[in-house]
Structures are given as C-alpha cells and as structure tokens.
Structure 1
Amino acid sequence: MRLIFLALAIWGAIHPMWYFLQWFAENGVDLGAMVDAWHANAASSGLVWDLTISAVALTVWVLAETWRTRNWTGLLAVPATFGIGVSCGLPLYLFLRSR
C-alpha cells in the first residue's frame, strides 16, 4: 500500500500541475486571473469549494495526528495540499504516516 500511496502522491503532483503550467503559459503568472477562472461557472465554483473544504479537513487531521504521534514529517502534507492540491497532499500524508 505504501508504494501505491507514493505513486498517487506523485501523480497527484504532476497531473494537476501540467494543467496549471499550461494555463500560466497561456495567461501569464496571474493568480488573481486563475482564481477568477476557477469561478467561471457554478460547477467550477462548487468544485473549488469542495476541494477547499477537503484541504481544510485534511489539514486539521494532519495537525491532530502530528500532535498526537509526533510524526513531524507528516506536516509536509500541509504545504503539498495548499501548494499543489488534495490530490497530492492526501496520498503523501498516507505515505508518510505508513512508515
């Protein structure tokens, strides 16, 4: 399972980043415009909120478990979640906690 979590974390980092980099190549590195694009319609706004709430829930879980277990490497999942996405942060955390 550990290697599957690692593979999912890598995929979750590379695949979404491919689309972000394409968008930046077409529109420049304008985070405000990217946020506007995320809210282009109700469906995409719903997805943004779904992922935001999932990211917050994951962060609360990571912080609570890290506090309890003192597995400080698990905290790497927090910047991965907010810098890349839940698709990277969640499997990364599962990989780190399974050592």
Structure 2
Amino acid sequence: MSPLRLVFLGLAIWGAVHPMIYFGPWILENGLDLQRLVAEWKVSQATTGLYWDLVIAAIALSVWILAEVAVRRNWLALLAIPATFLIGVSCGLPLYLFLRAKPVR
C-alpha cells in the first residue's frame, strides 16, 4: 500500500474515532435524539455556520462520489457516502480518497 493511501486511511480512522469521543457520551446521555442533536448544533450563529458548512461539504462530496463512481465503476467507494452522513465529513472524505487511490487495474 502506498504511503499516500496509508495517510488517507489513517485520517479516515481518526475522523471516525475522534468525533465519537464527543458524540458517544452525548448519545449515552440523550439517546439517538436527532432533533435535539441538530438543535444543539444550532445554539449560536457560529455553530449554525459550522453546521451548514459541513452539510454543504457532505452534499458536495456525495455528488462527487456519485459522479466518479458512475465513470470509474468503483462501487466500493460508495461506502464513503454513509460514512459521511453517519460519522462525518472527517471520515467520509479521507475514506473516499483512500478507496479512490487504489491502483487501477
């Protein structure tokens, strides 16, 4: 595996684990109350701006993944879409780059 792919894989793992250090305790305390979670993401203009920044980035990444999968037929790369929306862009983007950087046969 190339050093670049190892970097992408490491970032994907970090992007999956590190946010869960914060989400995990919140979910244990509040359950999977998505309405409350989104409401807490919008408690100030700063967090609302960050929320929308990440939503737009997640949508853009998903469109890019779908467009490239349609051309490259790298179906495994579709795993990055649920990773993006269920974990976050911090996991989905490096995961996609890891899957995309696989040598072409």
TM-score range, shorter chain: over 0.9
**Structure 1, unaligned runs of 5 or more:** none
1:49 aligns with 2:52: yes
Name the counterpart of 1:39: 42
User: Structure 2 matches for 1:15-94, cutoff 5 A?
Assistant: 15-94=18-97
CA RMSD of aligned residues (A): 0.8
CA distance in 1, matches of 2:31, 2:101: 39
For 1:45 and 1:88, the matched residues in 2 are separated by: 21
List structure 1 segments (4+ residues) > 3 angstroms apart after TM superposition.
none
Q: Which moved more, 1:17-26 or 1:5-14?
A: 17-26
Counterpart amino acid of 2:101?
Answer: S
How far has the Cα of 1:28 moved from its partner? 3.0
Gaps of at least 5 residues in structure 2 are none
Residue 98 (str. 1) matches residue 101 (str. 2): yes
Amino acid at match of 1:35: V
Deviations 1:2-51 (A, max 9, x none): 00000000000000112111112233332111111000010000000000
When the two structures are aligned, how many residues end up with a matched partner?
A: 99
Instruction: Provide the C-alpha distance between the structure 1 equivalents of 2:62 and 2:27, rounded to a whole number of angstroms.
Output: 27
